[in-house]
Amino acid sequence: MELFNYYPWLFAALASVFGLIIGSFLNVVIHRLPLIMEREWRQECAESFAEYHIEPPQGEFNLSVPRSRCPKCQHSVAIKDNIPLFSWLRLKGRCRHCSGSISIRYPLVELLSAALCLAIAYQQGFSYFSVALLFFTLTLIAATFIDLDTMLLPDQLTLPLMWAGIALALLNISPLSLQDSVIGAMAGYLSLWSVYWLFKLLTGKEGMGYGDFKLLAALGAWLGWQHLPLIILLSSLVGLIFGLIQLRLKQQGIDKAFPFGPYLAIAGWISMMWGESIMAWYFNQFLGM
């Protein structure tokens, strides 16, 4: 570990490579986790309502089985064609066998993962908590893209993320006290839960999903209750900007549902990186503190 203190660039380089490799795995998680959840629901329905003869899902399907395939020709992707970023560039974004296009989102997720991990390593330097922040960031990336695709925030991501934040505080790896982490998780969940029920009582509609409550609880567990006002403010601003852009581009009505999880994730990551500076600037500029 002393090596990283003498050569901080080494940790940054390793973190970026780690992000690139795990970013490739995140593409699998983003695509398959919602399908795994759907298969589990179908299995439960088939078992609970056997009299309706619901067909249960067939075959094994998880994050490793079956092997990755081209969505067009269904040919298995060879190991040499599954190298993060470089394989996509070498194949020019096309399947080796059918020349069908491969979505540019795959290398973009890998690049995003590498860039954010590099940013954390460069700013934070090496520590056990900065390593944990790499996993925190990668989980947020997976949750963001799943929510964009499906309007779902899986418990398989949000709940382990929340408990991990509390565990790091308990083990004194996080700079947060255990009290601040637990209060952050409670306040994060209850704040959006309260907004949800207030909106539902006033309008009779559901304004957001329970996954959003759990994600903000996870952010509170990692960053502390002190960051929650900034996260909520930033997520609202980011959501407003992207919502207006999406309304403009897709000509959708104002009543069209938008996923809120990505905006929470973006706001949480910004607050993690620069929250202290943003709050210090605000207090100095507007409160004279």
Same domain as 185, residue 47: no
Checking if the pLDDT of 103 tops 60, the result is yes
- Share the mean pLDDT of the chain: 89
289 pLDDT band, cuts 50/70/90, is low
Same domain as 164, residue 103: no
Instruction: Pick the more confident residue, 244 or 287.
Output: 244
Residue 180: partners with Cβ closer than 8 Å, 6 or more residues away: 169, 224, 225, 226
Checking if the pLDDT of 251 tops 60, the result is no
**CA–CA dist 84, 105 (Å, integer):** 12
Same domain as 215, residue 197: yes
Checking if the pLDDT of 74 tops 90, the result is no
- Report the C-alpha dihedral over residues 214, 215, 218, 222, rounded to 10 degrees: -160
Among candidate residues 104, 126, 148, the one where a domain is terminated: 126
Among candidate residues 126, 145, 172, the one where a domain is terminated: 126
97 pLDDT band, cuts 50/70/90, is confident
Across the range 85-113, mean pLDDT stands at 90
Same domain as 137, residue 115: no
Residue 129: partners with Cβ closer than 8 Å, 6 or more residues away: 168, 173, 174, 175
**CA–CA dist 271, 78 (Å, integer):** 40
Indicate the number of domains in the chain: 2
Same domain as 88, residue 22: yes
Q: Which of 51-55, 141-145, 200-204 ranks highest by mean pLDDT?
A: 141-145
Same domain as 162, residue 116: no
49 pLDDT band, cuts 50/70/90, is confident
**How remote is the C-alpha of 282 from its chain's centroid?**
28
Residue 194: partners with Cβ closer than 8 Å, 6 or more residues away: none
Same domain as 187, residue 78: no
Same domain as 287, residue 215: yes
Checking if the pLDDT of 166 tops 80, the result is yes
Among candidate residues 126, 152, 185, the one where a domain is terminated: 126
Across the range 133-152, mean pLDDT stands at 96
Domain that holds residue 60: 1-126
| Per-residue pLDDT, 13 | 94
Q: Which of 35-39, 161-165, 191-195 ranks highest by mean pLDDT?
A: 161-165
Q: Which of 35-44, 47-56, 73-82, 199-208 ranks highest by mean pLDDT?
A: 35-44
Span 12-43, pLDDT tens digits = 999 999 999 999 999 999 999 999 999 988 88
Q: What does the H/E/C string look like for the chain?
A: CHHHHHCHHHHHHHHHHHHHHHHHHHHHHHHHHHHHHHHHHHHHHHHHCHHHCCCCCCCCCCCCCCCCECCCCCCECCHHHCCCCHHHHHCCCECCCCCCECCCHHHHHHHHHHHHHHHHHHHHCCCHHHHHHHHHHHHHHHHHHHHHHHCCCCHHHHHHHHHHHHHHHHCCCCCCCHHHHHHHHHHHHHHHHHHHHHHHHHHCCCCCCHHHHHHHHHHHHHHCHHHHHHHHHHHHHHHHHHHHHHHHHHCCCCCCCCCCHHHHHHHHHHHHHHHHHHHHHHHHHHHCC
Across the range 180-185, mean pLDDT stands at 98
Same domain as 201, residue 230: yes
Same domain as 178, residue 43: no
Q: Is 231 exposed, middle or buried (0-12, 13-18, 19+ CB in 10 A)?
A: buried
Same domain as 119, residue 145: no
Instruction: Pick the more confident residue, 7 or 161.
Output: 161
Same domain as 133, residue 122: no
Checking if the pLDDT of 119 tops 80, the result is yes
Checking if the pLDDT of 254 tops 80, the result is no
Across the range 273-282, mean pLDDT stands at 89
| Per-residue pLDDT, 91 | 87
